[in-house]
């Protein structure tokens, strides 16, 4: 199975400009993501950026990168342009977040493996929620799945509502899942979803994957036991570079 991994990497970030180039214990963030992706057994890995500094940096450490438009509204759109620019016949594409330098190669492989299941159009990962803090954190999207392990809905709120049960034990009454933000696309489906206008559910929740569901596309999920560590601010960077943090070397 030929699988292309694409890492979208923007330079301009409101909360952390230039974060793909931020140093994490001797390596840039984007290099760490790239090396984790290369270890996942993908056919090829490509950085999709909108900035010459990131492009030059990736090429300097021996990585592969392409320049994409600065006007993209999502990583999905950037992935599709990068795939077009590469102009090579991949059937499956994995979108790997450029601000998760410690993503595990086995998680990337797990997302790619979803396409071994016949009929898979889109894929993502989920993780069981074990605490009420995580369950009620609006910055941690949740996902409801079917018996076929396909996503039914994503929300920033817990779904379903546990009637007559105290909030702090909802996670003990029902199995809730957190969405882990890695995406897989069948190439023809990626082209189709990038042509869709924003949907009402997407705009309400600010979650782009709802656009796909609202338009009838199916998202296969796979269960991971591990969370990912996203770096959105300089404070997040300080946390992961502290002596208390133990990420991969």
- Would you state the pLDDT for residue 245? 52
21 CB contacts (<8 Å, ≥6 apart)? 11, 28, 29, 30, 53, 54, 57
Give CA–CA dist 30/16, Å, rounded: 14
pLDDT in tens, 124-150: 999 999 999 999 999 999 999 999 999
Question: Residue 234 corresponds to which tokens in the numbers above?
Answer: 């300089």
Is residue 183 pLDDT above 70, yes or no? yes
Is residue 246 pLDDT above 80, yes or no? no
Name all domains of the chain by residue range, CATH numbers in brackets: 1-103 (3.90.550.10), 106-227 (3.90.550.10)
Residue 151 in contact with residue 177, Cβ under 8 Å?
no
pLDDT in tens, 15-31: 888 999 999 989 999 99
- Mean pLDDT of the region 195-213: 97
pLDDT in tens, 87-124: 999 999 999 999 999 999 999 999 999 999 999 999 99
Q: Rounding to the nearest 10 degrees, give the CA dihedral for residues 232, 131, 125, 200.
A: -70
Q: Give the mean pLDDT of the chain.
A: 94
Angle between helices 29-38 and 52-60 (to 10 degrees): 50
- Would you state the pLDDT for residue 73? 87
Give CA–CA dist 186/202, Å, rounded: 21
């Amino acid at each position: 199975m030929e699988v292309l991994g694409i890492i979208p990497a923007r330079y301009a970030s409101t909360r952390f400009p230039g974060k793909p180039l931020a140093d994490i214990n001797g390596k840039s963030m984007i290099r760490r993501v790239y090396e984790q992706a290369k270890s996942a057994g993908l056919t090829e890995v490509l950085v999709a950026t909108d900035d010459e500094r990131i492009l030059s940096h990736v090429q300097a450490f021996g990585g592969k990168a392409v320049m994409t438009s600065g006007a993209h509204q999502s990583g999905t759109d950037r992935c599709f342009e990068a795939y077009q620019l590469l102009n090579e016949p991949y059937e499956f594409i994995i979108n790997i977040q450029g601000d998760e330098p410690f993503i595990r190669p086995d998680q990337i492989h797990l997302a790619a493996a979803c396409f071994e299941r016949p009929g898979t159009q889109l894929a993502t990962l989920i993780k069981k929620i074990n605490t009420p803090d995580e369950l009620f954190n609006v910055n941690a999207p949740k996902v409801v799945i079917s018996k076929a392990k396909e996503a039914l809905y994503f929300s920033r709120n817990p779904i379903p509502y546990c009637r007559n049960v105290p909030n702090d034990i909802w996670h003990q009454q029902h199995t809730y899942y957190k969405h882990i933000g890695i995406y897989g696309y069948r190439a023809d489906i990626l082209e189709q979803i990038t042509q869709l206008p924003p949907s009402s559910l997407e705009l309400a929740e600010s979650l782009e994957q709802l656009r796909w569901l609202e338009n009838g596309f199916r998202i296969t999920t796979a269960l991971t036991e591990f969370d990912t560590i996203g770096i959105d601010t300089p404070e997040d960077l300080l946390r992961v570079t502290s002596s208390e943090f133990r990420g991969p070397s």
